[in-house]
Amino acid sequence: MRRKLAAGNWKMNGTSADLAQIEALAQAHSSALSEILIAPPTPLLHRASQVAKSKAITIGAQDCHKRERGAHTGDVSAEMLLDAGASYVILGHSERRADHDEHDEDVRAKARAALAAGLRVIICLGEELEEREADNTLDIIGGQLAGSIPDDISSDSLVVAYEPIWAIGTGKVPSIAQIGEVHDFIRARLEKRFGHATAKAIRLLYGGSVKPANAAEIFAVENVDGALVGGASLKAEDFSPIIAALDES
């Protein structure tokens, strides 16, 4: 049975004062059925892990370098993230792919580094609006799956997040049928590559304008095991109803 996951990506938002949001989530969901993950900016990782310690919150990071160490000014290694208190790292987010020109091979190299350091990885996939309108979504997702995920994974170490780029922060959400089609496709491709038992245990998240108002409907879709949430995860009062909807799904 896959344990559902509500993951909050704070992106480049948050200061020390915002750590109170993690405390509020921990108090509100001390007996949550779902796993709750917050990925704050790197400067907050250690303090966030201290706030979340012995509570119902897991802490993740938003990116890592593919190298263990070296002359890479401004970058952070997977080992450093683990040392700072992270258990997960988000890789291949569309904003990283676009803003930093990251390609599937870069995501795969980072995933290898993260797995070697002992981190779990959340690998993001998603199509542009033009690709969706051209009916190329499954080709794009299939290519990203093949290119971004390393071969040496286990069901416990990998989470896959489908985030249609055109839905991130726009308020636009794919239809329930479109979400289901992509998640079913991802599960089938994982099964073909890694075998039934492994693929069945890998959690698949949906991300892109998930809000309290639409969360329950999205979580009712087969093969949706949770959400990767951006803006709505910044405040406990916004993220909490999403977590509750996931627990009830």
| Pairwise CA distance, residues 160 & 200, whole Å | 12
Listing DSSP states for 190-235 in one string gives HHHHH-HHHHHHSEEEE-SS--HHHHHHHHTSTT--EEEESGGGSS
User: Does 248 participate in catalysis according to the annotation?
Assistant: no
Residue 234: phi and psi, rounded to 5, are: -75, -25
Work out the angle at residue 207's Cα, subtended by the Cα atoms of residues 92 and 172, and round it to the nearest 5 degrees.
Answer: 120
Within 10 Å of residue 180's Cβ, how many Cβ atoms? 18
> CB neighbours of 190 closer than 8 A, spacing ≥ 6?
145, 160, 198, 199, 202
Question: Which residue has tokens 């995920």?
Answer: 149
How far does Cα 182 stand from its chain's mean position?
A: 16
The burial of 71, by beta-carbon neighbours within 10 Å (0-12 exposed, 13-18 middle, 19 or more buried), is given as: exposed
| Pairwise CA distance, residues 235 & 240, whole Å | 8
User: Does 163 participate in catalysis according to the annotation?
Assistant: yes
- The active-site residue, picked from 95, 102, 127, 163, is 163
- The active-site residue, picked from 29, 93, 95, 183, is 93
Two tokens at 81? 């993230």
| Pairwise CA distance, residues 144 & 167, whole Å | 18
Hey, which residues are catalytic here? 93, 163
